[in-house]
Amino acid sequence: MADILAVRDVRKTFGDVRAVDGVSFTVRRGTITGLLGRNGAGKTTTIRMITGIFMPDSGDIQWLGEAASGGAYRDRIGYLPEERGLYKQMKLVELLLFLAEIKGIRATPAVRKKIDYWLERFELTEKRDAKVEELSKGNQQKIQLIGTLLHDPELIILDEQQSGLDPVNMVLVRNLLRDLRNEGKTILLSTHMMGEAERMADEIILIHRGQVVLEGTLDEVRAGFGKNTLHIDFDGDGTFLSTLPQVKHASIVNNAAELSLVEGADPQEILQAAIGTLRIRRFELAAPSLEEIFIDKVGTETLTSTETVPSGVVR
């Protein structure tokens, strides 16, 4: 499969903040690629450079193997920003036609038919004549997603696409994205929700402090970390598990523990230690979850920093 997009050593500085500091990665056609990282890692800035909102200070972005200056490929991208919003006063169909027009699609009957198709698929047909402001927040999200897809983009970039959706709509969107992937579209998902990426992504790119720290298919990445994670389900007080010398890091929620082990540790010793105090219901040695890998890679620094573009933004 060919690369649809290649980001090559791009850098972007805002004032004193190096938001993106030499990021390179490729996105293969027909995959769902997860762009992972904590808030402020540089995901949104990277995406804004891909979508041509910012010009990189240095480095370049290639579309289908060719350097694309000035975002000539923009119309072939569908972008759902994290900070999303719509013109609240407009009627649904008008707004969707407008969103298609700014992607260079004329308001033909074919486009209107497509709108009807998507409204149907998102269970919004009855709201067809409503104004945007009359819709619930979740429905507005769906409208914006439709707006992202109307011009039939080859690459769909979604920034935190699950925020604000209820569980039913989350499933709806997940299924949709998988369908789109199966139709040959490429999807770039930016998220800090590791579970979501694990569920959806074929490939992942992990960004930390403006740099790529990990890249590959989900399986490759996991394999690289070996089977050093213990999953234990138990009855009793398991807090002592995190203090065992073989345990590097532990997350214990209710009666389930996920323990990452120090190198060379013997899981058998942990089983022995546990068996005396706890009733073990499940004991499994597995590859680490993405969350574990993530924490292992970027450490456990406080997760309070937020991703904002500082004012006085300078190219």
Partner 1 sequence: MNKMFAVFKREYIQAVRKKMFIIMTFLMPFLMVLLFMLPSVMMSRGMGTKKVAVLDGTGQLREPFTTAPQKKDADDSEVGGRGNDLTAKMDVEYVDARDQKLDQAEKPYLDRLRQEKGATKLDGVFLVPPDAMTATDAKFRYYSRSATDFITQERLASRANHAVEQNRLVKHGINPADVEQLTTDLKVDSVQLSKSGEQKKGGAANFIIGFMLTGLLIIPSFVYGLEIMRGIVQEKTDRVVEVLVSSMSASELLIGKILGVAAVGLTQISVWFIMAALLGTFGATTAALAGENVMQLIRPMTFVYFAVFFLLAYLTYVCIYAIGGAICNTEKEAQQLIGPFSIIMMLPWFLMVAIITNPDSNLSVAFSLAPVWGPLTMYVRTLVAEPPLWHVALSILISIATISFFFWITAKIFRVGILSYGKRPTVPELWRWLKVA
Q: What is the closest distance, in whole angstroms, from the C-beta atom of residue 185 to partner 1 in the complex?
A: 18
Q: What is the closest distance, in whole angstroms, from the C-beta atom of residue 56 to partner 1 in the complex?
A: 13
Q: What is the closest distance, in whole angstroms, from the C-beta atom of residue 109 to partner 1 in the complex?
A: 18
* Nearer residue to partner 1 within complex by CB, 105 or 271: 105
> Token pair for residue 48?
């804004």
* Nearer residue to partner 1 within complex by CB, 53 or 244: 53
* Nearer residue to partner 1 within complex by CB, 51 or 260: 51
Cβ-contact 173, 165 below 8 angstroms: yes
Q: Which residues bind partner 1 (CB under 8 A)?
A: 48, 51-53, 74-75, 77, 79, 81, 83-90, 98-99, 101-104, 106, 144, 147, 308-315
Q: What is the closest distance, in whole angstroms, from the C-beta atom of residue 55 to partner 1 in the complex?
A: 10
Q: What is the DSSP code string of the chain? A: --EEEEEEEEEEEETTEEEEEEEEEEEETT-EEEEE--TTSSHHHHHHHHTTSS--SEEEEEETTEE--TTTTGGGEEEE-SS----TTSBHHHHHHHHHHTTT----HHHHHHHHHHHHHTT-GGGTT-BGGGS-HHHHHHHHHHHHHTT--SEEEEESTTTT--HHHHHHHHHHHHHHHHTT-EEEEEES-HHHHHHH-SEEEEEETTEEEEEEEHHHHHHHH-S-EEEEEEES--GGGGGSTTEEEEEEETTEEEEEEPTT--HHHHHHHHHTTSEEEEEEEEPPPHHHHHHHHH----S-----PPSS---
Q: What is the closest distance, in whole angstroms, from the C-beta atom of residue 314 to partner 1 in the complex?
A: 5
* Nearer residue to partner 1 within complex by CB, 276 or 312: 312
Q: What is the closest distance, in whole angstroms, from the C-beta atom of residue 222 to partner 1 in the complex?
A: 33
Q: What is the closest distance, in whole angstroms, from the C-beta atom of residue 81 to partner 1 in the complex?
A: 4
* Nearer residue to partner 1 within complex by CB, 147 or 267: 147
d(CA 286, CA 260): 10
* Nearer residue to partner 1 within complex by CB, 49 or 274: 49
* Nearer residue to partner 1 within complex by CB, 157 or 259: 157
